[in-house]
Structure 1
């Protein structure tokens, strides 16, 4: 499914029609609302990193990105902190096939700034500007659709404010279109969003939360989460890390080149194993239930800060519009995959979820799909919900638990105002692998500790 396409000197005769643009405009400083164009399914590329894979360069990232585009995905989320992710994504988007078939204005690129390594953060105006310029070069683009300040809980409100102001200057220069913040602690995200609105008179466009809306923790759905962010003027709140950074998997947390990076305790992992055994006894895998439950329920739970952007159809070369699935806002989710099997099965899950939305029954018939697809989707939702409730019963007091971020005693080791030359190969990948506290496994040790990572989904 995700094989790298064969390149041709000229593709005018052999490739599908050029894909249409996402309808963005900016007139007299008034931009198209992000909530009208951001696709509700975003392809996250944190997996193009040493935390999740021993060698990200061995992944067929070009094939994955190309296949994602052909199946309707029109937004990609990355970060300089994700090792070579920006470069791998940029190279995939720069192939002749993608350039000719998917023009730059037909998809959105979301990246981040400010986080350099596990214990280095630089939110200074100088570094933000340098980081954005480097991202533009790595991603082979003249502009970035959305830039987040990465993991705001690690720095002070004043530092966040400095970074936001510089991003807005870059927005005025046409290099950035929308601006957001992201991080883990829900209360900090709310504090920062409110502070930015109070101090500048303008809200951030987007706040991305991760690992706070899944089978183990639904804090993002409460009054401290999406409602507080909405009150602070935030337009869109994407939900990322639907499996809790890989916690909610039968095989346990992912083990990449950095070893076991996951912050969850032994006791929480034991509870998840018990929940996984429960799913096994009912012929399911916990990652299947967790992924489908989070994707399907966030569509409605996150709708108040969702988007009417066109969803990915999940089918090759088939366009789906928001009107085809009822025309309402849909909560935005970020998925992460490492191989073609994970992508294919995730897209099948997404297609089935869309079939169950308003208008899905008629849309399926008009598209020539199974006339009972809508009924199947609703029955599957009931089964998943039943097992999801069973998982949450087993997790017990671990429901809603959040680990500390940052750890007590954290010290930012970044020396600010240090000029880094863009393009310097020695400084190109300031990633978790370069962190002083990282423990890099050799290939043999990694192979023994890791297991197959395919997600059997439906």
Structure 2
């Protein structure tokens, strides 16, 4: 915790000009909120430790009000679920009412067709490809297994999941998978858990790994 400026008693410390820029931006957003132009103030985009530190900084700076919402992406999925570790701190220490997770497919990493711009290192991209191959002859496949894992974890934590989709076909496919996950019998669920175990084993070396943000 000390490494990231998260030691108790230092929550209100400004560590550099970047912190002041954030506080100034929050102050302006609060004015807009008071004027009724916006409803909620939130934050996203930074690594989890930075998000937590900034959330605490906002709470411990006058007028001592917490952020309304925080969105974190690529940290509650088959390859990296560290958001679950940080979540109690966001709720209890930073007092953020609405937490949201996004990118259950880890920005396309956990799909057969990884985007060419993906910031993950080559070794992780290759490990994901091998995971996809290991599940190719299974009942479900890597995307469905990944979505099932992420949706289940989010439900256990009591938070919503945001999914980015670009085509109507993807919308229908995602809804179909979500419905299957909530209606399938015990035998089908057991098959999914077995394949989930295979995927976790394939990605074991990279569990909890986060690439640089920004890359």
TM-score of the pair, normalised by structure 1: 0.41
Q: Is the 1:184–1:211 contact (alpha carbons within 8 Å) kept by the matching residues of 2? A: no
Deviation string, structure 1 residues 290-345 (Cα, Å, up to 9, x no partner): 11221122111x21xxxxxxxxxxxxxxxxxxxxxxxxxxx210011121221112
Corresponding residue for residue 166 of structure 1:
28
1:228 counterpart = 2:89: yes
Corresponding residue for residue 342 of structure 1:
170
1:192 counterpart = 2:54: yes
Corresponding residue for residue 286 of structure 1:
142
The count of aligned residue pairs is 197
Q: Is the 2:103–2:163 contact (alpha carbons within 8 Å) kept by the matching residues of 1? A: yes
Aligned mate of 1:215, from 78, 81, 90 = 78
Aligned mate of 2:179, from 342, 346, 351 = 351
Q: Is the 1:293–1:384 contact (alpha carbons within 8 Å) kept by the matching residues of 2? A: no
Deviation string, structure 1 residues 231-266 (Cα, Å, up to 9, x no partner): 210111111111111111112x22xxxxx3211111
Deviation string, structure 1 residues 122-160 (Cα, Å, up to 9, x no partner): xxxxxxxxxxxxxxxxxxxxxxxxxxxxxxxxx822111
Secondary structure of 2:41's aligned partner: strand
Corresponding residue for residue 245 of structure 1:
107
Q: Is the 1:180–1:205 contact (alpha carbons within 8 Å) kept by the matching residues of 2? A: yes
> CA separation in 1, counterparts of 2:27 and 2:185?
45
> CA separation in 2, counterparts of 1:161 and 1:379?
52
> CA separation in 2, counterparts of 1:350 and 1:283?
16
Secondary structure of 1:233's aligned partner: coil
Deviation at 1:380, TM superposition (A): 3.6
Secondary structure of 2:123's aligned partner: helix
Deviation at 1:280, TM superposition (A): 0.6
Residues 383 and 236 of structure 1: CA distance in aligned 2, closer, same or farther (over 3 Å): farther
Q: Is the 1:299–1:332 contact (alpha carbons within 8 Å) kept by the matching residues of 2? A: yes
Residues 198 and 165 of structure 1: CA distance in aligned 2, closer, same or farther (over 3 Å): same
> CA separation in 1, counterparts of 2:189 and 2:135?
15
Corresponding residue for residue 296 of structure 1:
152
Residues 377 and 340 of structure 1: CA distance in aligned 2, closer, same or farther (over 3 Å): farther
Aligned mate of 1:386, from 194, 199, 213 = 194
Superposed structure 1 runs of 4+ greater than 4 Å apart = none
Deviation at 1:284, TM superposition (A): 2.9
Deviation at 1:398, TM superposition (A): 0.6
Unaligned runs of 5+ residues in structure 2 are 1-16
Deviation string, structure 1 residues 183-232 (Cα, Å, up to 9, x no partner): 2411011101111001131100111001011000000001xx10110121
> CA separation in 2, counterparts of 1:332 and 1:176?
21
Measured on the aligned residues, the alpha-carbon RMSD in Å equals 1.6
Q: Is the 1:218–1:400 contact (alpha carbons within 8 Å) kept by the matching residues of 2? A: yes
Q: Is the 2:73–2:101 contact (alpha carbons within 8 Å) kept by the matching residues of 1? A: yes
Aligned mate of 1:180, from 6, 24, 42 = 42
Deviation at 1:348, TM superposition (A): 1.9
> CA separation in 2, counterparts of 1:292 and 1:179?
30
Query: Which structure has the greater CA radius of gyration?
Result: 1
